[in-house]
Copies of this chain bind each other. A is one copy, B any other.
């Protein structure tokens, strides 16, 4: 496993960025640290001359950037997703610092793609975006002034990733393949349908309960086989095998 594989397995995903200059500066920050894969979810303005100007020698990252309509699309194929947050959220996502997050991500990136997701400049990640993350990471900041610029936050995170990768000691752990983002999303859809069918959740307000359930499984970091197992249970729960005795 070479360090190139790890660099190649890391995505930086910027959600609904308002200022194209920040996209350019983020691309430059990424490239200085050896990262390449930039995803832009519904950017306000892109492509843009100001973004290209601020990217300077990293304009190639803007050219190869992938623009998507939804965060879920940007996470296609990812086995692990970490959201960046400037503050403690009230829900039960696990919160770790950027250095710990870099280590977690790099271990998985020895084998499968991982993503770091950044929210808008003004308000960070929405709850719906958080629901796509398995873990939240924060950059420890001055409690009296936590306002890191978006590109500055990308710079610090990519720096920590580079430091982690260069330090080595990232031999692949003995573990099974993690489920991809789309497998997990397929499971959630299946689960929600099932819970509606069995009358466990209110069809007029399914959201709150599904959020709580998503956070439980986010912490569990489901493996590919485990998703299959859980979906098997769901299938049987509404359509039991005819020959069952109980």
Contact = CB atoms under 8 A, between A and B. Distances in A.
Interface string A144-183: 0111110110011001001100100000000000000000
28 contacts: A25-B152, A28-B152, A29-B148, A29-B149, A29-B152, A32-B141, A32-B146, A32-B147, A32-B148, A32-B152, A33-B141, A33-B142, A34-B141, A34-B142, A56-B147, A57-B145, A57-B147, A99-B163, A140-B162, A140-B163, A142-B162, A151-B152, A152-B152, A152-B155, A155-B155, A155-B156, A156-B159, A159-B159
A56 B146 CA distance: 12
Contacts of A29: 148-149, 152
- Which interface class (under 10, 10 to 19, 20 to 34, 35 or more) fits A? 20 to 34
A201 to B, nearest CB: 41
B145 A159 contact: no
Given A152-B152, A155-B152, A159-B156, A31 B140 contact: no
Interface in A97-116: 99
A139 B166 CA distance: 12
A58 interface: yes
A112 to B, nearest CB: 23
Nearest to A98: B159
A210 to B, nearest CB: 35
Interface in A1-53: 25, 28-29, 31-34
Given A28-B147, A148-B155, 8 more contacts: A25-B152, A28-B149, A29-B149, A32-B152, A33-B142, A99-B163, A141-B162, A152-B152
Nearest to A34: B142
Contacts of A33: 141-142
A142 B28 contact: no
A34 B145 CA distance: 8
Contacts of A25: 149, 152
B31 A142 contact: yes
B159 A32 contact: no
